[in-house]
Structure 1
Amino acid sequence: MTIHLEPTVAEQIRQRYLQVDTSNVADVLDELDLPDQGLAPAFAPYPSGAGKLAGWAHPILGEMREYPLGDRDPDKMKACAELTPGSVSVWAGPGEGVCFFGELIAIGMKERGSVGALVDGGVRDVAWIGQLGYPVYARYRTPVQSIGRWKVVDSGVPVTMPGATTATVEVRPGDFILADEDGAIAIPAAAVEHVLKRAEELGGVEVEIRRELGAGLTLANALAKFGHV
């Protein structure tokens, strides 16, 4: 994972991102003329109560490829061993109908300090993963294993993920991944700190709007006072 930040600072940033919403992050990216960082609506938490996902991207690339069941995909294990504290494993590459990992790989990733996964494919053992406190956002779930069908071919390299407003979104090592009830979004590494500060500002305004609406301010007057948020 390529993060040019001192580890304590990187973790402080990650913790602050856990307090902001993807919707505000998306609005800030629009302000920066980065309007196409949202990921496809198909990405959803597994299980549904997995919680917010926030961390530094470490991409893992695979492809559909037949190989002997006994090989057990050692390249997958190698890629997972590269994960560092605060990282989100970003699983990419062609593949349909199979899971890219299940409970045991999730345990191994969490042991490395990884804080969640974003999967352009399937996962299984959903109920057990839910007990790990390891947020996983994926396109689908399936009982069908990857061994013998889908193989890791590279890691720590730029990958493409399905986009919300474009066909694909490039995710590079050290970009930031944020996902919540509204969906998932990728924040380019160079913009991470600016986006965070501005998203926190927008969130603060929203708190004040909700407070005043609760105290009786009409929506029309709130819009006149605060503008569009």
Structure 2
Amino acid sequence: MLDKSVIEILQRVSTATITTVLLKKGLRNVWLREAMPLRQGQPRLVGPAFTLRFVPAREDLATPASWSSPISTRTAIEAMPEGCIAVVDAMGIKDAGIFGDILCARMVKRGVSALVTDGVVRDIEGVLGTNLPVWCAGTAAPPSVAGLTFVNWGEPIGCGGVAVFPDDVIVADKDGAVLIPKASLDHVLNEGPAQEAEEAWIVNEVTNGATLPGLYPMNAETRARYEASLKK
């Protein structure tokens, strides 16, 4: 569980800003490809990653009977802690829905903050009806076993080409979902709000007619003006 103060800070920092802050730290691959908002207007959400992993379907394992197995998406959902963001490695497969309305409804009851995946969901009307915020690659009618085999949860995964470890921090907004490695969390908490404030000042300067050279990025003179504005 993340501290409330951490969540409040990151809810005010865009995923675009986070990617830039992490890029300056040398981390280039933190944006989860294909994981885009299923519904327009979803709020920016923050939570620790609860990971789930699928592999390609194997006919003797990917069957409706597997849904009752001790290792199943159903069992994994019952292990999800309140406030987590479920991050699902579906290998970018788009012709089999990993979760539908019933599983999403149960996630809501368990207090899960969101579902993020590089795959797709099914039962779209029902999923939207649960009000579970979802970031995914779209929708498909077939069930997961039509193209995937569920293998485990709570282990490192690859989602959208990004390595995700349990309890890494996920921030998701209109630009998609990004990962903050646990070791880089304090850095983002320190640098993210500062960059948001700086860029808001730059936008205001542009609105007032300023030209970009020397403003974005700031040269020494512009930096001095910006820092002076903070003291007013």
The aligned residue for residue 85 of structure 2 is: 88
Q: Could you list the per-position Cα deviations for residues 104-146 of structure 1 after superposition, in whole angstroms to 9, with x for gaps in the alignment? A: 1111112212100111211123333334332211123111112
Aligned residue in 2 for 1:113: 111
Q: Which residues in structure 2 correspond to 1:46-65 (within 5 Å)?
A: 46-63=38-55, 64-65=57-58
Query: What amino acid does structure 2 have at the position aligned with 1:61?
Result: R
Distance 1:24 1:106 in 2: 30
Give the direction of change, closer, same or farther, for the CA distance of 1:192–1:133 in structure 2 (3 Å limit): farther
Partner secondary structure for residue 135 of structure 2: strand
Residue of structure 1 equivalent to 2:67: 72
State the partner residue of 1:44: 36
Q: Could you tell me the TM-score, scaled by structure 2's length?
A: 0.81
Name the aligned partner's letter for residue 211 of structure 1: N
Alignment length, in residue pairs?
214
Q: Tell me by how many angstroms 1:193 deviates.
A: 2.3
> Identity percentage over the alignment?
26
Over aligned residues, Cα RMSD in angstroms? Answer: 2.4
**Gap regions ≥5 residues in structure 2:** 225-232
Distance 1:96 1:211, change over 3 A: closer
* Alignment CA distance shift 1:130-1:51 (3 Å): farther
User: By how many angstroms is 1:187 displaced?
Assistant: 1.2
Question: Is 1:124 the counterpart of 2:116 in the alignment?
Answer: no
Cα distance 1:30–1:86, how it changes in 2: closer, same or farther (>3 A)?
same
Q: 1:71 to 1:154 in 2, by over 3 A?
A: closer
2:20 equivalent in structure 1: 27
Structure with higher strand content: 1
Distance 1:73 1:178, change over 3 A: farther
- Cα distance in 2 for partners of 1:193, 1:45 equals 26
* Structure 1: gaps spanning 5 or more residues: 1-6, 164-168
Instruction: Give, in whole Å, the separation in 2 of the partners of 1:177 and 1:39.
Output: 10
Q: Check whether the contact 1:59–1:157 (CA below 8 A) recurs between aligned residues.
A: yes
Q: Report the structure number with the largest CA radius of gyration.
A: 2
- Distance in 2 (CA, whole Å) between partners of 1:68 and 1:35 is 38
Tell me the distance in 2 between the aligned counterparts of 1:182 and 1:148.
30
